Amino acid sequence: MLSQFFDQHVRKRQQYWRLTSRFVIGILLSVALGFTIFASPESFAQGIKNQESTVQEEEISTEWIVVDGQRLFQVAETKELTETRRAQGINWELAELMKSSEPLSVRVDISRYTPIIYNGSSARTGRRLLSVTANDLRAMNPPVNVKEDTLDRQARIWAENIEEGLKQARLERSGDYLLRATLTSLAVLLGAAGLHYFLGYLCRRYVLPLFPISVAQPLPGTTGIGRTEFSLARFSLQLLLLVLRVALWLSAVLFVVRQFRFTRAWTHRIQDGLAEFFIDQALPLGETSLSIADILALFGWLGILVLVAKIATNVLRSRLLQASGLSLGMQAAIAILIRYFILFVGIIAVLQLWGIDLSSLTLLASALGVGLGLGLQNIAKDISSGLVLVFERPIQVGDFIELEGKMGRVDRIGPRSTDIRTLDQVSIIVPNSRFLEQDVINWSHRNPLSRIHIPVGVSYNSNPETVKAILLEVGRQHSQVMAAPAPEVFLNDFGESSFNFELLVWIRKPQLYPQVKSDLNFAIATAFRKVGIEIPFPQRDIHLPKGPLPVTLSEDSLNKLDKHQRWDNNKT
């Protein structure tokens, strides 16, 4: 009953862990995917457009029109002015209008070819703010066809935006608004702090206790979960908690800085600086140039590709390969080859999607070759050795091996290293090249049967036939010893003080070698003690000649003895 209770309990926890881990991995994957997509949507779209044979129109430069940190719209360059000089003039006019006491009445004069936006009762007496040109429409995303009605319609839209922005700017300079915005910001920050603490308490109190890290091995006879899976679940949950907290504080800070004109203006300056650093600065790569944001997004997609390849191979191995009846080593080899194939095809697809010509990577390949020749040759040797291990299969997952005097089971064969789990449940990370350069004892290679040699020495007073019968009986009675081939006993030689026997038995599980050998030694000692057979220890006889023993002292010893005697005489 107790074992069934533990079995059901662990099964429920295993199912819960699987659901939770899938939920966590799905959220993290969605966050990473969203980041890589929205981090540089222009570069993603540009990477697709580069593959199409379409003619791109010449890009028109634009600049923002800003009122107290509020971005209203963008104006384009003209034949007379650059976009920067034009935006500076418009922003200065809007700043002067906002500081003055003039009533706000932003209107549009459409009597000319290019509509004019002004503030006042008429275009002649009012303050002229800007004119809407054809380039302003062409620079929009998507571009707008330049027609007279579209220019007038866009001018009215911009006039409404300017009037609303100026009204909001004057409102934000009042004392009542500053007091209300300050109280609102404090409330938001306090709420974010409380929610930060509540998320941590909820995770520590109710979620993390479901995955204790003290579980090292599953209970005997159950389908439990090991330490690695529990640790992965805890790490995923803690990572999700960190992401939620960071998103929470970023949202709170952005809300606060948008409430005040000074902080809002500095926010736009920081955004412009970051955009100039990450987007405008491009790295030429053949016919394509990538910005820092493009490179970061590319690495993000490659990371997602690695994660997808890992999840796909794990699902394939757990759902299909295990049901196929193949050995663990063959399953691991097939999973590794499929993962390499997915990564190879995926990397080529992502690079092509990004518009990178593979022929332009020759310089990178040359630098990689120099790095391999100088500092990465050991890593390259380990990776190539891993491929040899996968194809030649001198060791496989699940094999019991001995390397440099250390015995253990092969848990995983990776691209660069192999994990070995010793009998003490200690993981040893061994570079793959060591398996090809040194002698490896594989107890499970092709035939898992292993023979144990147990040397036994007994006194010369013992009957050899009796000793042989006892050793054979001890070997037969052990549950792990095979009946066929049957145990054997050999009298190897006559030692200085004992008959030297050797008991040989066969076992099916090489990993039980130390335990079976210890059990047999205990059983042999008990059986010998019952029948009075002695296990001798080395004995030495010292023969001394008769008569006085000649003693010879060196001259130095005689001098020391003479000094000691004279000192005793003087003392007396």
Series of mean pLDDT values for 10-residue runs along the chain (572 residues): 44 48 48 45 43 48 83 85 87 84 82 81 80 82 66 85 85 85 92 92 82 48 43 75 90 87 77 71 65 79 86 80 71 79 86 71 67 69 81 81 85 85 85 87 79 91 92 92 90 89 90 89 93 81 70 74 72 62
Pair 11, 113 in one domain = no
Residue 73 CB neighbour total at 10 angstroms: 16
Examine residue 20 and state whether it is found in any structural domain, yes or no. Answer: yes
Distance in angstroms (rounded) separating the CA atoms of residues 103 and 66: 20
Among 298, 350, 313, CA closest to 321: 313
CA distances from 370 to 283, 373, 375, 382, 416 (A): 22, 5, 9, 17, 20
Residues 78 and 18 in one domain: no
In a domain, 362, yes or no: no
186 and 166 belong to one structural domain: no
CATH number at residue 422: 2.30.30.60
Position 214, amino acid: S
Name the 3-class secondary structure at 543.
coil
Of 461, 454, 460, 510, nearest to 482 (Cα)? 510
Task: Sheet with 488-494: list strands edge to edge.
Answer: 450-458, 499-507, 488-494
In whole angstroms, give the CA distance from residue 307 to residue 293. Answer: 21
Q: How many CB atoms lie within 10 A of CB 498?
A: 19
User: Are 71 and 159 part of one and the same domain?
Assistant: yes
DSSP class of 394: S
The pLDDT score that the predictor gives to residue 435 is: 87
Backbone conformation region of residue 71, classed left if phi is above 0, alpha if psi is from -120 to 50, else beta: beta
* CA atoms 545, 547, 550, 551: torsion sign: positive
Q: Is 358 domain-assigned?
A: no
169 vs 104: CA distance, rounded Å: 12
Instruction: Say if residue 403 is in the same domain as residue 433.
Output: yes
Q: Which of 407, 442, 477 is the last residue of a domain?
A: 442
- Name the burial class of residue 452, with classes exposed (0-12), middle (13-18) and buried (19+) by CB atoms within 10 angstroms of its CB: buried
pLDDT at 231: 61
**What's the rounded Cα separation, in Å, for the pair 72 and 91?**
11
Looking at residue 188, its pLDDT comes to 93
Asked whether residue 161 falls in the same domain as residue 87, the answer is yes
Tell me which amino acid residue 508 is: R
CATH label of the domain that carries residue 460: 3.30.70.100
Alpha helices in 532-571 (DSSP H): 555-571
For residue 74, the cross-strand partners are 64
Is 84 inside a domain boundary? Answer: yes
Predicted pLDDT at 489:
94
Is residue 75 domain-shared with residue 165, that is, in the same domain? yes
User: Do 169 and 184 share a domain, yes or no?
Assistant: no
Q: Do residues 186 and 164 both lie within one domain?
A: no
Please list, in sequence order, all residues whose beta carbon lies within 8 angstroms of the beta carbon of residue 542, skipping any fewer than 6 positions away. Answer: none
Residue 365 belongs to some domain of the structure: no
What's the confidence (pLDDT) of residue 146? 63
Claim to verify: residue 203 and residue 248 sit in the same structural domain: yes
Domain count, the chain: 5
* Residue 181 sits in the same domain as residue 167: no
Among the three residues 142, 173, 204, which one is the final residue of a domain in this structure?
173
List Cβ neighbours of 425 (8 Å cut-off, separation of 6 or more): 216, 217
Give domain status of residue 285, yes or no: no
Helix (H), strand (E) at residue 356: none
The whole-number pLDDT of residue 565 equals: 74
Residue 542 belongs to a domain:
no
* Cα(209)–Cα(202) distance, integer angstroms: 11
Residues 246 and 259 reside in one and the same domain = yes
Query: How many CB atoms are closer than 10 A to CB 378?
Result: 12
Using the Cα atoms of residue 18, residue 19, residue 20 and residue 24 in order, give the sign of their dihedral. Answer: positive
Is residue 489 a part of any domain in this protein?
Answer: yes
Helix (H), strand (E) at residue 367:
helix 362-374
Structural domain that includes position 438: 393-442
Residue 71 has phi, psi (to 5 degrees) of: -85, 120
Measured between alpha carbons, how far is 453 from 107 in angstroms, rounded to an integer? Answer: 103
